[in-house]
Structure 1
Amino acid sequence: MVQNGATATPADRAAQGKAARKRAPRTSHADWIPAAHRPDPVAVLERQGRDRLQELMPIRYGRMTASPLAFLRGAAAVMAADLASQPHTGLMVQLCGDAHLLNFGLYASPERTLLFDLNDFDETFPGPFEWDVKRLAASVAVAARENGHPEEQVRRAAQAAAGEYRTGIRRLAARGELAVWYERIDADQLLPLVRSARRRKQVESTLSRARRRTSLHALGKLTETVDGRPRIVHVPPLLEPAGAPDMASLRKIFSDYRSTLSEERRLLLDRYRFVDAARKVVGVGSVGTRCFIVLLAGRDAGDPLFLQIKEAGKSVLEDHLPNGPYVHPGHRVVAGQQLLQAASDIFLGWMSGPQGRAYYWRQMRDMKGSADVAGMSPRRLQNYAGLCGTALARAHARSGDRMAIAGYLGGSDTFDRAVAEFALRYADQNAADHAALGAAVIAGVVQAAPGV
């Protein structure tokens, strides 16, 4: 995080960044040699899952065995341990903690502008800036290989993620504090990046779909009318109405959550009434954590608001880094999101639930959208990887010392090429770990429910 920002000159801070090259030369980021006592990846996943809903764990493993990229998405804890075994720069930022390329996407700002940014913060925690960059680049390499891209194109895409990150940090290092804070990537800025008319139409279609993904849209897809009132549909095991004990708990923690919002947002929330709630299975790495959706109604039944309540546990980074500033895991997630995103959900809040479990709240759908990475050509994936790198640089510049990081990165592509080499090597490791999980399923060590 920023140190002595008020007294050190930009030149001093850049020099501090250059000095970090002695701790971790830029070329050293190319290295990936598994530690001699590297933990078994399946054991890491099993240990992480001990406190989760055990009946849902086969779904998690079924989703992770689907492909190497799906495995990477669910294996943030595995990669966190691997990154921690390597030398690092000591240049700290608020990390996303799980900055793979599918954790970037579209969402609405409070002003109803569609933005492109990071969109998952379950693992956010202060740490060395390059950990996020390496996870992003590795995910790009894994995705490119899954798409069947030639190895040179795989390398170029991974290098684009690191290169645009470096370019973004250096650009922001030259800007003032408020200018950096107000920086954002408007979704309309994506269109000039697309050259062909066909691709432009595809991007416009993605933006249009995102704008339609609202609570009103969700009302039609996730509810049915029972005795004249909307009720969340029953789609087991992915969506199941909350039982009486859960419903009572949710009503209680709803009032506790309300207290973490600012006064004007509490007033807005008070205009809605509690209608229904259900347990929902979400994501890949999150499967097994306790997650609910709550349907609220405002002016009438046709004025819905869907909120998501998600369990917040320890970040996968916490075992490998000094203590962070937040004791409550839900507070950690909310504060990290507000720091990293250019604009955040007005209903973000946190509280403790039954058995002292930590949760955070947010809108379930607020014009959210994501890219279809699986269908991307080498050129499109390279452009998208660069866009993610730019967004990550903007996020890191808000919490870290961007001038020191820029000084460390420098004007050459030394860092970019090193990270690309790491990404290819780690993609090999990830493929081996994915195969190990598949073998564990076949051997009956873990159970998997594919296709759920």
Structure 2
Amino acid sequence: MNTPAGRAERGRAARKRVPRSGHAGWVASVDRRDPVAVLERQGRDRLSELLPIRYGRMSASPFAFLRGSAAVMAADLASRPHTGLTVQLCGDAHLLNFGVHASPERTLLFDLNDFDETFPGPFEWDVQRLAASVAVAGRENGHPDAKVRRTVVGTVAAYRTAIRRLAELGELAVWYERVDADSLLPLTRSARRRREVAANLTRARRRTSIQALGKLTETVDGRRRIVRDPPLLEPAGVSDMAALRKIFSDYRSTLAEERRLLLDRYRFVDAARKVVGVGSVGTRCFIVLLAGRDGDDPLFLQIKEAGSSVLEEHLPTGPYVHPGRRVVAGQRLLQAAGDIFLGWMTGPQGRAFYWRQLRDMKGSAEVAGMSPADLLGYGRLCGTALARAHARSGDRIAIAAYLGGADTFDQAVADFALRYADQTTADHAALGAAVAAGVLPSAPDS
């Protein structure tokens, strides 16, 4: 039944498949995939000269490893029973994949900000990845396990209470729901920390294409060019430049008509290959500089390769064959307000890409060094934002009924998160051993 009562009953029935307490614990099975082998397999279709940077970044800490090992955790989550309550998953909902960005109305919002792994799947997988990231981050910050557990419980409780609140709202009210970036300020306990957060928001508001023009370009022989900073930022070669110009029109066709008109007011100036993130290192990524009214009216776009989601081999077939379209559709569905230049297309050799603005008042929190109170406040904000995203695509009434009013689910996921943090530490050590033995190459960024 599609009545609220029927949807709630569907959620409660899911407890028979997986009791809320059943989310607790983590014990690796004897046939668990070797995490190093999972990373090696991912690297086979990436730019080999950039893989040492990827492994070097992941080797920095257990949290850095967690950031880059979404494929490892996806396989681990798939080995466990799940509720069958499907949402559009972020697929990689760790703490640093939340942040601020500008809405088309230039309001600064707090939301999910990475969708490379987005795919339909059981809601709890995103919650469990977020919870595990909170546990790993808390331990790295030196918090005792009792406080780490409290932080994880608070994060999951925020998700649960937000879903329950959203379950009582109408469809349009849920669709228009958003989390204002200024929500970050009340979460901080100390005046010093509030000043830091306010300064970070101010910096985010300044992160625009105009700011990027001064940081990322120089004038050579009277012409504006993207600066060279190998291996992180390299001028596009002749063949890449020609391909980027050619596929620009294909990307244009995926935009709404009024946005095509806006894009047509810009001209192509320059392009460069850029290394981004941790888990994404080695995928093909470019930035393109466009000029509008004149050379002081820039637009920076990022073109990022889209492959299969790490979730795809563990779940039923999704609605989109094209990986770039999958990412774009997922982002449009999950974010409260999306990038007006978000689009997708197929590039050379049949590779899929998606396009977005490089800088649009984007920023993320400094999780390292957060006190237990600040990490708890930030975790709650992330849990609330994740619930808002899930409520747009999944059956929020069924999920709310499954979770219920008690903290059974919160406590169970916290138990899982602390145990999975142990697993992440062990996997990080395995990566370090592989690097030390020469099995995997590792190199600093420069």
TM-score of the superposed pair, with normalisation by structure 2: 0.99
The structure 1 residue matched to 2:161, chosen from 155, 167, 174, is 167
> 1: distance between equivalents of 2:273 and 2:213?
16
Equivalent residue letter for 1:149: H
The residue aligned with 2:286 is 292
Q: CA deviation at 1:197?
A: 2.6
Q: CA deviation at 1:196?
A: 3.3
The structure 2 residue matched to 1:131, chosen from 125, 129, 134, is 125
Contact 1:66 1:450 in 2 (8 A): no
- 1:27-84 CA-partner distances (Å, limit 9, x unpaired): 0101211122001000000001100000000000000000000000000000000000
Equivalent residue letter for 2:112: L
The residue aligned with 1:74 is 68
Question: Counterparts of 1:85-124 in structure 2 under 5 Å?
Answer: 85-124=79-118
> 1: distance between equivalents of 2:184 and 2:305?
33
> 1: distance between equivalents of 2:232 and 2:200?
25
Q: CA deviation at 1:190?
A: 2.5
The structure 1 residue matched to 2:34, chosen from 21, 40, 47, is 40
Q: CA deviation at 1:195?
A: 4.2
> 2: distance between equivalents of 1:428 and 1:191?
32
Q: CA deviation at 1:8?
A: 1.6
Contact 1:65 1:450 in 2 (8 A): no
- 1:142-169 CA-partner distances (Å, limit 9, x unpaired): 0000000011111111111111000110
The structure 2 residue matched to 1:387, chosen from 366, 374, 381, is 381
Question: Counterparts of 1:228-239 in structure 2 under 5 Å?
Answer: 228-239=222-233
Q: CA deviation at 1:301?
A: 0.5
The structure 2 residue matched to 1:192, chosen from 174, 186, 195, is 186
The residue aligned with 2:426 is 432
> Is residue 333 from structure 1 mapped to residue 327 from structure 2 by the alignment?
yes
> 1: distance between equivalents of 2:135 and 2:186?
25
The residue aligned with 1:411 is 405
> 2: distance between equivalents of 1:123 and 1:381?
25
Q: CA deviation at 1:9?
A: 1.3
Contact 1:53 1:288 in 2 (8 A): yes
- Which SS does the other structure have where 1:375 is aligned? coil
The structure 2 residue matched to 1:402, chosen from 378, 396, 409, is 396
Q: CA deviation at 1:194?
A: 3.2
The residue aligned with 2:370 is 376
Equivalent residue letter for 2:438: G
Q: CA deviation at 1:230?
A: 1.1
> Is residue 218 from structure 1 mapped to residue 212 from structure 2 by the alignment?
yes
The residue aligned with 1:4 is none
- 1:82-120 CA-partner distances (Å, limit 9, x unpaired): 000000000000000000000000000000000000000
> 2: distance between equivalents of 1:160 and 1:300?
50
- Which SS does the other structure have where 1:82 is aligned? helix
> 2: distance between equivalents of 1:8 and 1:93?
17
Equivalent residue letter for 2:340: I
- Which SS does the other structure have where 2:2 is aligned? coil
> 2: distance between equivalents of 1:287 and 1:197?
37
Equivalent residue letter for 1:66: A
> 2: distance between equivalents of 1:198 and 1:15?
48
> 2: distance between equivalents of 1:144 and 1:375?
9
> 2: distance between equivalents of 1:382 and 1:420?
13
> 1: distance between equivalents of 2:64 and 2:191?
31
Unaligned runs of 5+ in 2: none
Equivalent residue letter for 2:440: V
Stretch deviating more after TM superposition (159-168 or 278-287): 159-168
- Which SS does the other structure have where 2:384 is aligned? helix
> 1: distance between equivalents of 2:359 and 2:170?
33
The residue aligned with 1:60 is 54
- Which SS does the other structure have where 2:44 is aligned? helix
The residue aligned with 1:312 is 306
> 1: distance between equivalents of 2:412 and 2:345?
42
> 1: distance between equivalents of 2:79 and 2:157?
24
- Which SS does the other structure have where 1:310 is aligned? strand
Equivalent residue letter for 1:120: D
Q: Which consecutive aligned stretches of 4+ in structure 1 deviate over 6 angstroms post-superposition?
A: none
Equivalent residue letter for 1:243: G
Contact 1:53 1:289 in 2 (8 A): yes
> 1: distance between equivalents of 2:183 and 2:95?
18
Stretch deviating more after TM superposition (25-34 or 301-310): 25-34
- Which SS does the other structure have where 2:368 is aligned? helix
